[in-house]
């Protein structure tokens, strides 16, 4: 798609990747070393690593990012531990700092599609996504990942047809009478504020990948920030070129 894409790993506990990292937090600090040297457990070590980066070494990250020049689309793979997005200010501080430098940032909350299997899990997924959206103070997309694993694809079709009344009615018998008010309040919160919209992401379905990308592009105002490029003009001149893609058309517009 002619994008200048760089991948950043910000997970100090990551072990291996199926993609190439252009910037890797583990070059600065990693969970294993902290656990060994400071005798911390895995969670404490993770928080230590993130504090080390955000509070002391943001210059390290900023310098590496700036080495790639302007007009770069960074994909930042963040740790999966939810407390970093719900009650520690670290990720918020990190993204605010990037925004101050003029980087457009969009958060993509990745929720496993297994959250669709039970309604109580689904509600908890919505609430988790909501909590991180509020905490991060960023434009936010919730992506339902690993949808290739879902056999019953009709589950995905009705994803955003949120029937609050039906969900609380289904939940109540499972949880007992005393929980019904809480269920109702939670479900109504999600419904009334329309704060959580899910984008199904199936790695084997290009349309679903494009839908997520399109959403992120809108938030980031990606096309507004693109300079027309020489090679794009060449493509436009060559009307027989079958490989022309929508990207340069958008740039051209
Ligand atoms: N079927 C399927 N499996 C996937 C997909 N993405 C990742 N996986 C697998 O799911 C497992 C967990 O990977 P991730 O969800 O990326 O989580 P992680 O990076 O290991 O852990 P955290 O970042 O800490 O949450 C790995 O075995 C991956 O190979 C996908 O789109 N489809
Ligand atoms: Mg990960």
In the chain, where are the structural domains located?
5-147+195-239
d(CA 212, CA 200): 8
Per-residue pLDDT for 80 more than 50?
yes
What confidence score (pLDDT) does residue 193 get? 67
CB 198 within 8 A of CB 215: no
As a whole number, mean pLDDT of residues 27-40 equals 97
Six-digit token string for 38:
């400071």
As a whole number, mean pLDDT of residues 161-189 equals 76
| CA-to-CA separations, 196 to 39, 128, 170, in angstroms, rounded | 39, 10, 20
48-62, 119-133, 168-182, 234-248: the lowest-pLDDT one? 234-248
Per-residue pLDDT for 246 more than 60?
no
What confidence score (pLDDT) does residue 181 get? 82
pLDDT confidence bin for 36, thresholds 50/70/90: very high
**Ligand 2 centroid from CA 7, angstroms:** 12
| CA-to-CA separations, 181 to 67, 164, 167, 178, 184, in angstroms, rounded | 54, 13, 13, 7, 5
* Residues whose beta carbon lies within 6 Å of some atom of ligand 1: 11, 79-80, 145-146, 148-149, 203
d(CA 79, CA 9): 9
d(CA 61, CA 78): 14
pLDDT confidence bin for 249, thresholds 50/70/90: very low
CB 78 within 8 A of CB 10: yes
- State whether CATH 3.30.70.260 applies to domain 5-147+195-239: no
Order of strands across the sheet with 107-112?
A: 107-112, 140-145, 198-200
Most confident of 171-180, 209-218, 238-247: 209-218
d(CA 17, CA 132): 25
CA of 81, closest atom in ligand 1: 24
Order of strands across the sheet with 73-77?
A: 23-24, 5-9, 73-77
Most confident of 188-197, 223-232, 241-250: 188-197
What confidence score (pLDDT) does residue 195 get? 61
* pLDDT tens for each residue of 159-174: 767 677 777 777 777 7
Ligand 1 binding pocket mutation candidate from 17, 46, 79, 145 (most atoms within 8 A of CB):
145
**Ligand 1 centroid from CA 74, angstroms:** 20
Could you tell me the pTM of the whole model?
0.84
**Ligand 1 centroid from CA 64, angstroms:** 26
What confidence score (pLDDT) does residue 229 get? 58
Which residue's alpha carbon is at the smallest distance from atom 2 of ligand 1? 146
CA of 11, closest atom in ligand 1: 23
Per-residue pLDDT for 7 more than 90?
yes
pLDDT confidence bin for 243, thresholds 50/70/90: very low
User: What string of H, E and C letters represents the secondary structure of the chain?
Assistant: CCCCEEEEECCCCCCCCCCCCCEEHHHCCCHHHHHHHHCCCHHHHHHHHHHHHHHHCHHHHHHHHHCCCCCCEEEEECCCCCHHHHCCCHHHHHHHHHHHCCCCCCEEEEEEHHHHCCHHHHHHHHHHHHHHHHHHCCCEEEEEECHHHCCCCHHHHCCCCCCHHHHHHHHHHHHCHHHHHHHHHHHHHHHHHCCCCEEECCCCCHHHHHHHHHHHHHHHCCHHHCCCCHHHHHHHHCCCCCCCCHHHHHHHC
Mean pLDDT taken over the chain = 84
What confidence score (pLDDT) does residue 194 get? 61
- The phi, psi pair for 198, rounded to 5°, reads -100, 140
d(CA 207, CA 195): 23
66-70, 152-156, 192-196, 227-231: the lowest-pLDDT one? 227-231
Per-residue pLDDT for 248 more than 50?
no
Which residue's alpha carbon is at the smallest distance from atom 21 of ligand 1? 80
CA of 78, closest atom in ligand 1: 23
What confidence score (pLDDT) does residue 196 get? 61
């Amino acid at each position: 798609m002619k994008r200048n894409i760089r991948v950043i790993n910000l997970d100090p506990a990551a072990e291996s990747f199926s993609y190439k990292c252009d910037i890797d937090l583990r070059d600065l600090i990693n969970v294993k070393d902290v656990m060994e040297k400071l005798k911390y457990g895995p969670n404490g070590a993770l928080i230590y690593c993130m504090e080390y980066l955000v509070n002391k070494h943001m210059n390290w990250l900023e310098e590496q990012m700036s080495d790639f020049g302007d007009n770069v689309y960074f994909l930042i793979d963040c740790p999966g531990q939810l407390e970093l997005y719900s009650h520690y200010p670290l990720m918020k501080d990190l993204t605010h700092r990037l925004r101050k430098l003029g980087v457009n940032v969009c958060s993509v909350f990745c929720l496993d599609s297994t959250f669709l299997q039970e309604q109580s899990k689904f509600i908890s997924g919505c609430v988790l996504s909501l909590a991180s959206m509020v905490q991060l103070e960023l434009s936010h997309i919730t992506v339902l990942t690993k949808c290739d694993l879902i056999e019953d694809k009709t589950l995905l079709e009705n994803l955003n047809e949120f029937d609050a009344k039906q969900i609380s009615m289904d939940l109540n018998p499972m949880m007992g009478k005393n929980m019904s008010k809480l269920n109702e309040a939670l479900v109504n919160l999600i419904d009334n504020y329309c704060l959580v919209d899910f984008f199904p992401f199936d790695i084997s379905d290009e349309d679903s990948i494009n839908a997520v990308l399109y959403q992120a592009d809108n938030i980031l105002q990606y096309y507004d920030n693109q300079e027309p490029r020489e090679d794009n003009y060449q493509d436009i001149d060559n009307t027989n070129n079958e490989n022309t893609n929508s990207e340069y058309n958008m740039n051209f517009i």
